[in-house]
Amino acid sequence: MLDKAKCGRLGAEDFHIAVKAVSEGRVSPRDLYTALHVVGLAGSPTQAEVVRKYLDMPSDPMLSRLALQILCDYWGMSSDVLPEIHRFLTGVGWDIDGDVREVAISVAGRHLREERGPRSLAQALVRIAEDEGELDFVRESAVRALAGALGESLLDVSSPAVRVRIPSAQAVDVLTRARKRYAVR
């Protein structure tokens, strides 16, 4: 079913099965993740409420991560879930591995680029990038998100595989420009 959804060949009957599985949640965690992914790929914002209920899943952060990706990346609904994005940027205790936070950082940068605000997202990203108590890769992710918000499209900035060392000249430049554009003190 997932392969068909990825190729755009999912039939209506299979789609309805996936929506029902996600709505009812009466399937194994693995099947639920797959069904949610199918709904994300083959669905639309009309299924947002079904997906939205998975944003807060302490028992399975990967479902929350996927729900955030679907709503924001697949369906372009980041404006509708700004409170959740802020909460995940700050960090939630049950996201032990930071999977949901990682997506929230990325989503925040894209939202800033596309919507030009709110300033509070930029402030949160700058705080993360400057917090020496954060893991380096988290700080670097925040710098990449800010660079994307500023319109950077360089591979070395956008790719998590290439590190944007803090405090490299590149990272300092991104943070300086982000503080200026978004009036972050």
Preceding amide of 45 cis, omega within 30: no
- In the chain, domain spans: 81-181
Which whole-number Å values give the CA distances from 155 to 133, 151, 159, in the listed order? Answer: 27, 12, 6
pLDDT of 126-172, one tens digit each? 999 999 999 988 999 999 999 999 987 544 555 555 566 777 788 88
pLDDT of 66-103, one tens digit each? 999 999 999 999 999 999 999 999 999 999 999 999 99
Question: What integer pLDDT is reported at residue 29 of this predicted model?
Answer: 79
Give CA angle at 182 (88, 106), nearest 5°: 35
Residues 156, 72: Cα–Cα separation, whole Å: 24
Half-sphere exposure of residue 74: CA atoms within 13 angstroms, side-chain side: 23
Question: What integer pLDDT is reported at residue 16 of this predicted model?
Answer: 79
Which of residues 26 and 92 earns the better pLDDT score?
92
Task: Give the model's confidence band at 185: pLDDT under 50 very low, under 70 low, under 90 confident, else very high.
Answer: confident
